[in-house]
């Protein structure tokens, strides 16, 4: 474990719990977890921060996925097909992540968030009603192929390379491409996100860029937050998920914008 104070460790664990909750509800927990790791470990190379982030996130995402699988309408076969492509994409992205510097991450995350914010603002009814409801109705073959290639491969590559916001992008993409409601999209996204995390983590572990002891401690809190968040998303529905999505996106845009302005 890196040489950090007890206060820093406690704050990182709280950030992990909050990130797990956010990730389970609407995705994007990495938008909180990764900046927290960058702030708490300022002298640790970016590749190690990214690797540790993945080791923490996969635990919480897996817990949320199990909760959703038990109680939500998930098209498991479709999710697995997208997930396998995402696995390959994330391993490829993680391979290139070793050359990423910490200074590059903040503006990239900010630009990505601004894109998400603009999309959600321009689609006020996004995810509140769906043409496909996850209960078994057929999805056009072209849309399935698009979901596998673009959602799986593209977002998987992004997750391995950078990571923050992957869950949110998965929810948005699955809702837009497959016309799922937000709860079903969030549940499906968890299965895909487990695959992207696994692929990226495998590459980071191979490269030796994971702080395993710190990750193990933070993962316990991330798991707890994720399971609580999944239950809340299931009980409160798409309206609640959308509200959390907007709150997370705008809060993080404001925070990163402030940090970038004062950099």
Per-residue pLDDT band for 98 (boundaries 50, 70, 90) equals: low
Per-residue pLDDT band for 14 (boundaries 50, 70, 90) equals: very high
Tens-place pLDDT, residues 18-28: 989 988 887 77
Q: What is the model's pTM?
A: 0.75
Give the dihedral sign, CA 172/120/129/178: negative
Percent of residues, the chain, with pLDDT higher than 70 = 82
List, as own/partner pairs, every contact residues 125-128 make where C-beta atoms lie below 8 angstroms and the sequence separation is at least 24, other chains included.
Answer: 126/172, 126/175, 126/176, 126/242, 127/171, 127/175, 127/181, 127/182, 127/185, 127/238, 127/241, 127/242, 128/181, 128/182, 128/238, 128/239, 128/242
pLDDT at 219: 96
Helix or strand run (H / E) with residue 251: helix 212-261
pLDDT at 172: 81
- Please tell me the distance from the alpha carbon of residue 86 to that of residue 55, in angstroms, as a whole number: 17
Tens-place pLDDT, residues 104-151: 666 776 777 777 767 766 766 655 544 444 444 556 777 788 888 888
pLDDT at 125: 62
pLDDT at 136: 47
Count Cβ atoms below 10 Å from residue 66 Cβ, excluding itself: 15
Q: What token pair was written down for 87?
A: 């696995």
Tens-place pLDDT, residues 26-63: 777 877 888 889 888 888 888 899 899 999 999 988 98
Query: What distances in angstroms separate CA 148 from CA 16, 36, 144, 155, one per listed residue?
Result: 29, 31, 6, 10
Mean pLDDT of 90-98: 83
Is 242's pLDDT higher than 50?
Answer: yes
Is 241's pLDDT higher than 80?
Answer: no
Check residue 208 and report its DSSP letter: T
Better-scored residue on pLDDT, 119 or 71: 71
> Helix %, strand %, coil % for the chain, to 5?
80, 0, 20
Count Cβ atoms below 10 Å from residue 209 Cβ, excluding itself: 21
pLDDT at 100: 67
CA atoms within 13 A on the CB side of 23: 42
Check residue 151 and report its DSSP letter: I
- Beta-strand ranges (E) seen in 41-161 are none
Q: What token pair was written down for 178?
A: 């497959």
Q: What token pair was written down for 125?
A: 């009814």
Is 194's pLDDT higher than 80?
Answer: yes
Check residue 135 and report its DSSP letter: S
CB neighbours of 252 closer than 8 A, spacing ≥ 6?
Answer: 28, 31, 32, 113
Is 215's pLDDT higher than 90?
Answer: yes
Better-scored residue on pLDDT, 172 or 56: 56
Q: What is the DSSP string of 161-204?
A: HT-TTHHHHHHHHHHHHH---HHHHHHHHHHHHHHHHHHHHHHH
């Amino acid at each position: 474990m890196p040489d950090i104070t007890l206060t820093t460790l406690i704050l990182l664990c709280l950030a992990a719990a909050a990130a797990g909750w956010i990730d389970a509800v609407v995705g994007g927990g990495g938008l909180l977890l990764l900046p927290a790791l960058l702030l708490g470990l300022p002298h640790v190379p970016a590749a190690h921060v990214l690797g540790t982030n993945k080791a923490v996130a996969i635990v919480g995402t897996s817990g949320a996925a199990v909760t959703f699988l038990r109680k939500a309408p998930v098209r498991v076969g479709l999710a697995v097909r997208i997930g396998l492509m995402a696995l390959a994409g994330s391993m490829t992205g993680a391979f290139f992540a070793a050359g990423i510097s910490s200074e590059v991450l903040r503006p990239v995350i900010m630009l990505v968030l601004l894109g998400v914010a603009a999309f959600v603002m321009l689609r006020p009814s996004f995810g509140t009603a769906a043409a496909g409801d996850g209960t078994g109705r057929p999805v056009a073959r072209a849309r399935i192929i698009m979901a596998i290639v673009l959602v799986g491969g593209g977002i998987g590559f992004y997750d391995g390379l950078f990571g923050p916001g992957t869950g949110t992008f998965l929810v948005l993409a699955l809702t837009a491409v497959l016309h799922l409601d937000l709860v079903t999209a969030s549940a499906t996204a968890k299965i895909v996100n487990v695959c992207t995390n696994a692929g990226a983590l495998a590459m980071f572990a191979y490269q030796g860029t994971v702080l395993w002891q710190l990750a193990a401690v933070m993962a316990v809190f991330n798991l707890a937050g994720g399971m609580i968040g999944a239950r809340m998303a299931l009980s409160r529905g798409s309206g609640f998920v959308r509200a959390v999505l907007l709150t997370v996106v705008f809060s993080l845009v404001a925070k990163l914008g402030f940090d970038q302005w004062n950099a």
